[in-house]
Structure 1
Amino acid sequence: MDPDDSTGPAGADHPERAPAPAGRRRPRWLPVAIAVAASLLMLATVVVVSDVVSGDGDTASGITPAADPSAPDSAATALRDSEAQLATVDCEPGELRPGRDAARAYYREVLDCLDRAWQPVYDRMGVRPQPASVDVADVRTTECGELPPADRALGLYCDADHTIHLPYSRLTTAVGGTDEPAFLATLAHEYGHHVQALTGVFTETGNAMSDADGAAESEVGRRFELQATCFAGLFLDAARDTGLAGPSGGPEVAVQDFANWSGGESHGGARLQQQWATTGFTGDSVAACDTWSARAADIGGAGEWSGGSSSPASP
């Protein structure tokens, strides 16, 4: 984590903080980092940060969020124990073409696939349907507050209105306008945060971050981000026999795109991004994506987080 305030656990980086008065809401971010590989840009490696923006959205399930996602009575544990499976979907979006309108249309078609694929999980968890929307505009503010600067944010999810913000100019600067696997991987990851928000995991992550600092806070963030990547892998598996990711590949290509992500402190780095995307792609249910009980070595960093404290890593 790279906190940008000095107000303690209730500062701008903590999603559980109550909203500021209308018109003066401060941004509250769960910082995460994506580094786009040089092979995508054909330039020197460029680091782009993707922040998850949190507002005052409520969980859509009947589960009361716990103090942290690793607790036995947490929403994250209930989600794991449900062993819910995604529905296989026939997803054939139109070709991704250059231009903001074309990207918006592509995203909306894939969002429909994501909603359909995740519906059995929502049903199992008793989640009220709340479809996500996507905004490709270069907006400066969201329902969760100010967007981070362009050099810090590639994509972000706001739980207050369930909107995935993917400013078109930012993604095209990083990967170009028609790199379908990169567009797809980013959208599927951000939708993973939507799943976390609806099931209560998003709020629990904020609760855990409010009680942690330094390395422990970073570790909570990595578990949160790597679970979203694993959820992306689950979706790509559910759509593996369709035309996603373009005629030259398929969902497997989008899974491989996670190997181009880095940001060790926030996302776990390229190796772990690839590992968890593959875990979801080869997993049978949401239980495969239980990053909250995974060993420290599988989520990066030297510390092992439990209940807001950190300890030396096991041998």
Structure 2
Amino acid sequence: MRFDDQRESDNLEDRRGSGGGGGLRLGGGRLGIGSIAIALVASYFLGINPLTVLNMLSGGGLPAIEQSAPEAHRGPATDETTRFVSQVLASTEDTWHAAFQANGKAYQEPKLVLFSGVTPTACGTGQSAMGPFYCPGDQKVYIDLVFFRELKERFKAPGEFAQAYVIAHEVGHHVQNLLGIADKVHNTQQRVGKAEANALSVRMELQADCLAGVWGKRTDTMKNFLEPGDLEAALTAASAIGDDRLQQQAQGRIVPESFTHGSSAQRVRWFKKGFESGDMNQCNTFKAAQL
């Protein structure tokens, strides 16, 4: 990826060094390393609400978050990875402002929070074991950059474009929130059974993959930032986090009716659909007869 001379976003909040670590205290207990590892896979990749996972593992309810968020450091990025994240976020801003304007809408930029350990969010306590996540309550994307090492070492998806894909996917959830899609899906899920709710979650996640592909295409058209092998890196990341592959690795069998993010093939297909078209209107997974 060629982002050397690209601008950085003004919407980066760096909360690192503000506390956290050593496990998250919930319901009177403290989560250990083993529980955190389970939560990492189950929450981010299998689509279970991360706060629900941590709540279940701790055996108690989530306390209300009354404390204010740690003071965020703003200003120029202080390391290469942070600068890269800020540049990727800036590119999503440019992409979605243009895409929304072309559809007669106005885009509202999300914040991206870098944190270490734990951090308060409008959705409850955020923890690094959750992996990257989007909170619609405060319209912020949360990332502990340790996840990028996990992406490379555990999920065998190295490369900057794989990391950028993760950010673009979470910003895709922000786009869904702005368009009212997230609320509609959530409200419907409250009225249907588990299988139907899971199916809606799959369509939601595949749409975010497609929107990440739209970002990739439109950003490359505007900035010519892709290099040989970059697209393959994103496709490798999408494939690595398919429900079927993760279930096979975790439990030795695949249970399609429990999918919440889609299979590896589906995630690759919808990212490619967004990338090949560059059109957010091609990402309506909810009307697709076949995923």
TM-score, normalised to structure 1's length?
0.58
CA distance in 2, matches of 1:206, 1:124: 27
Which of the residues 108, 122, 134 maps onto 1:143?
A: 122
Distance 1:256 1:288 in 2: 22
1:230 aligns with 2:207: no
Number of equivalenced pairs: 206
Q: Is the 8 A contact 1:53 1:158 kept in 2?
A: no
Identity %: 23
| 2:154 maps to 1:174 | no
Q: What do you get for the CA RMSD once the two structures are aligned?
A: 3.0
SS at match of 1:164: strand
Q: Is the 8 A contact 2:128 2:143 kept in 1?
A: no
Q: Gaps spanning 5+ residues in structure 1: where? A: 1-25, 27-45, 55-98, 299-315
Distance in structure 2 (CA, Å) of the matches to 1:184 and 1:137 = 17
**Aligned counterpart in structure 1 of residue 274 of structure 2, from 269, 280, 300:** 280
**Unaligned stretches of 5+ in structure 2?**
1-25, 27-39, 51-76, 245-258
Distance in 1 separating the partners of 2:145 and 2:135: 17
- Specify the code of the residue in structure 2 equivalent to 1:160: G
Cα gap change, 1:269/1:243 in structure 2, threshold over 3 Å: closer, same or farther? same
Pair 1:269-2:263 in alignment: yes
Alpha carbons 1:156, 1:190 under 8 Å: kept? yes
Tell me, in whole angstroms, the C-alpha distance in 2 between the residues paired with 1:188 and 1:238: 12
Distance 1:243 1:287, change over 3 A: closer
Change (3 A) 1:101 1:145: farther
- Structure number with greater CO (CA < 8 Å, separation at least 6) is 1
Listed as ranges, the matches of 1:1-315 within 5 Å are 47=41, 49-50=43-44, 101-138=79-116, 139-147=118-126, 150=129, 153-175=130-152, 179-240=159-220, 242=223, 244=225, 247-251=227-231, 253-264=233-244, 265-295=259-289, 297-298=290-291
Q: Hey, what's the Cα distance between the residues in 1 that align with 2:278 and 2:191?
A: 33
Following superposition, the deviation at residue 145 of structure 1 comes to: 0.8
Offset at 1:158? 0.9
Q: Per-residue deviation at 1:214?
A: 1.1
Q: Which amino acid aligns with 1:154?
A: G
Specify whether residues 185 and 252 from structure 1 end up closer, same or farther in structure 2 by C-alpha distance, changes over 3 A only: same
Per-residue Cα deviation, 1:51-73 (whole angstroms, up to 9, x for no partner): 6979xxxxxxxxxxxxxxxxxxx
